[in-house]
Chain A
Amino acid sequence: MTTDGWLRQLWLRPAGRVGVILLVVMSLTAAIGPAFLPDPLAQPDLAQGGLRPPDQIHLLGTDYHSRDVMARVVTGARVSLAVAFGAVLLSITLGGMVGLAAGYLGSWIDAALMRLVDAALAIPRLFLLLIMVASMERIPLWLLIVAIGATGWFGTSRLVRAEVRRLRAMDFVRSAEALGATRRRILARHLLPNVLGPLTVATTLAVGDVILLEAGLSFLGLGVQPPTPSWGGMIMENKSFLVTAPWTSLAPGLAIVIAVVAVNLIGESLHQDPAPPLS
């Protein structure tokens, strides 16, 4: 399939179109929105107290430090989307490649790769992240993305491997092998398109996971460094106002949900089985 082909396919399906529009609007808002909004760091009326409900000045209200929630959500999209897509792309690629290799090549390669993955899964992810970022006193964004991505693929690789093992036993792969197709051809033509299912699911779920993981990391001081806003960080710092000032965490929470749903819509339109449905 050419690039042009899958882009067209995406756009032709309503779900795909909605997903693309959502993501484009989000990215554009993140890119140019902050120019039209108040300073996301400014704490204009700290003495009078923050946590003001939405009004005409602050469309989504203010947080505890009297910072504009809307400005923070929009600015936070930059970091959160960058972390989410960067890290997920990395982990899905790694997980997909390792899973394909292990599942298809089998024998000792499978054993070695999967035992390594087992060992890696057995170590708390927190340690792996700590080791990767702790040597730095200030954590740059790219390092955060690499660290999250490089520690997030172990599970995906096991799922992809399970799927590949299932497919390998199927008639169409066996007949391709019998017909003398090369390994590369079988991997690219027969297996890769078919593991896109679990990979798509892994991608959608991982987008939400990663944004929330960043929240957990910022709780430990290992995430996006303050005062730069991020969606996960906002949810974390506003968790005690959930009942008294729900707007402070609902806004970033909804942003995460919209991003996840958009990715899901795109993923499903892309991977929808080209074969006609049953009956």
Chain B
Amino acid sequence: MTRPLLGLALWGSLLIPRAALGQASVLPGTLVIAVAREAISPVPTLWASDHPSQEVSDLLFLHLADLGPTLSTTDESSFVPRLARRWTRRDPQTLIFELDPRAQWQDGVPVTARDVVFALERARNPNLSPQLAALLGRIDRVTARDNHRVEIHYRLAYAEQLYDAVFHAPPLPAHLLTGVAPESLATAPFRSRPVGNGPYSITRWEPGKILELTANPAFFLGKPGIHRVVFLPSPDPETRVNLMLAGEVDAVENLYSLPNWHRVEALPAFHYYPVPGLGVVYSVFNQRDPADTSRPHPIFTDPVVRQALVQLLDREVLSRAAYGNLTEVPDAPVSAVLGRAITLPPHLAVDTSLSRRHLAASGWLDHDEDGVLDKNGRPLAFALMVPSVSASRMAMAATMQEAWRRAGVRVQVEPVEPPVYVERRNAGRFDLDLYSVIQDPTPSGLAQSWSCAGIGGSNAGYFCDPVVDTLLAQAGRSLTASHRLYQDAVRRLAEDVPAIFLAAPVNSVPVHRRFANVVLRPESFWAAVWQWRILPGAELERDRR
């Protein structure tokens, strides 16, 4: 029930008639955002993903179309036109995009079909970007029909054709980048002074200090209502809180811990916008022996044990204490955004006595009376590997450890540095981990982590169910039933309890109250800033310059 309401709250602000606010805004206006990390390369590099870079890049480079308010990746009518004015389907395997003739690069050159072809060709080149190339594998060829029309031919008819074409690779200025090899983009002048086609351009960048964007007055979708957007890197979450308390920033990207949030939630100057996240946090049961991954895991191969371990935890309390009251507790690897498209399986509620009975029935009893359950002389003991620098996950681990300890399960928390965490996870050298992953808004990415083929890659827990594989494959090929098939796959997967699904965080983003028409996009918070306005009469000193 909370989900549709959240959606309304989030997108309702779009309904405010833009004219009413837009005309009144004659002041320049400044939005100051404190971010944890600075952008590395605010240009779609195509081969390495970096969230801070993407957030800046989305203000400089428009996509052909954006996801609509429902965030549906299959409902073509819900997409919002951006660089493409419209698209038509010639046949089930061909889409034709017609570019908005008003669109131009900030150097005055019009955006043409060639730019679209250029970007998609790079994205589909497996030697440049194996990651994107795999995601875009169903695109067969991209051709420019004329200056303003692009034809994309797909290998098969499937539901997410439009999404694939518009989401991953925004058009790039072919006339400027043809001579620049993608891997040398990092040293090219284009990196720090990119020429985009979006509502903003970079006017000042002092690395480590400030990244300032200024509105592009010639932006073809309308003059941005906020003249300046300033990103200030401040790595310490406490510093970001302090900046809010001192009134030096207008928005903060990530407050991290709930206690930080408590410090600022009463500040009258800020409004808190709930934004469903793309992340999902879960502990994967390694179903192979970490000492020898060709053998089954001595404890976790038994699904009864896995389910009992889940039901010993009060996941609501656990997750909300770490990620805030809005956080959802899924029973599948489904982020808050994805959760809108997929109805989740029934919830495994906390039930300590049931879990104890199940463990006992499985042979796990405290035979030697040392306080730890055992079976055939082996104690019910394992390690929980956690990235040490993640405060929220470390806090969760402490709570999980204690809850299990009370039930006679001995858990060793193993905090490790992130590079070690990833190394060990990829090699299968762990019992149970505490993973946090960002998903695209489509369920199609689930195959990477939950198919038999993903073993050796990102399927770290060796979960393998041919039925799930089949369902996922069918969903990817289906034109009409894809969501139902994904849903079946997720439900089937969840029944096996391959992991402890802990949190699908919903962010609560503070934004100063003088901003109206505020829309925060889940996939890129600030991408709609050009549509924001400052409430007349509420300007601050920093808005006037």
Contact = CB atoms under 8 A, between A and B. Distances in A.
Contact flag (A, B; Cβ within 8 A): yes
Contact of A64 (B259, B383, B388): B259
B399 interface: yes
Interface size class of A (residues with CB under 8 A): 20 to 34
Nearest to A130: B417
A65 interface: yes
A221 B414 contact: yes
Contacts of B405: 41
B398 interface: yes
A65 B412 contact: no
Interface stretch (B189-197, B276-284, B389-397): B389-397
Interface in A176-225: 218-221, 225
Contacts of B416: 221
Contact of B260 (A219, A240, A245): A240
A46 interface: yes
A244 B262 CA distance: 9
Contacts of B391: 237, 240
A220 B401 CA distance: 19
Given A46-B321, A240-B260, A220 B399 contact: no
Nearest to B237: A240
Contact of B402 (A41, A51, A219, A220): A41
Nearest to A226: B413
B259 A241 contact: yes
Nearest to B314: A47
Interface in B220-239: 237-238
A219 B397 contact: no
B330 interface: no
Contacts of B237: 240
Interface in A60-83: 64-65
B399 A240 contact: no
A42 interface: yes
B263 interface: yes
B415 interface: yes
Contacts of A64: 259, 321, 395
A138 B412 contact: yes
A142 B430 CA distance: 24
A220 B389 contact: yes
B388 A220 contact: yes
Contact of B263 (A43, A227, A239, A243): A243
A240 B383 contact: no
B179 to A, nearest CB: 41
A244 B388 contact: no
A226 B420 CA distance: 18
Contacts of B386: 221
B241 to A, nearest CB: 8
Contacts, number: 72
Given A43-B399, A65-B395, A227-B401, A137 B263 contact: no
A235 to B, nearest CB: 13
Contacts of B415: 218, 220-221, 225-226
Contact of A225 (B263, B317, B413): B413
* Chain B residues touching A, majority SS: helix
A220 B321 CA distance: 22
B257 interface: yes
B255 to A, nearest CB: 10
B434 to A, nearest CB: 12
A42 B383 CA distance: 19
B388 A219 contact: yes
Contacts of A237: 391, 394-395
B317 A65 contact: no
A125 to B, nearest CB: 15
A227 B397 CA distance: 9
A40 to B, nearest CB: 11
A243 B383 CA distance: 34
Contacts of A51: 259
B438 to A, nearest CB: 22
B417 A220 contact: yes
A43 B238 contact: no
Contacts of A41: 402, 405
Interface string B372-392: 000000000001001011010
A47 to B, nearest CB: 5
Interface string A227-239: 1000000000101
9 pairs of A and B residues whose beta carbons are closest in the complex: A221-B415, A221-B388, A226-B413, A221-B416, A47-B317, A43-B402, A240-B259, A241-B259, A220-B417
25 contacts: A42-B402, A43-B398, A43-B399, A46-B314, A46-B317, A47-B317, A64-B395, A137-B383, A219-B389, A221-B388, A221-B416, A225-B412, A225-B414, A226-B398, A227-B401, A227-B402, A237-B394, A240-B257, A240-B391, A242-B238, A243-B263, A244-B259, A244-B262, A244-B263, A245-B259
Interface of A: 41-43, 46-47, 49, 51, 64-65, 134, 137-138, 218-221, 225-227, 237, 239-245
Given A41-B405, A43-B399, A65-B398, 4 more contacts: A46-B317, A46-B321, A225-B412, A225-B415
Interface of B: 237-238, 257, 259-260, 262-263, 314, 317, 321, 383, 386, 388-389, 391, 394-395, 397-399, 401-402, 405, 412-417, 420
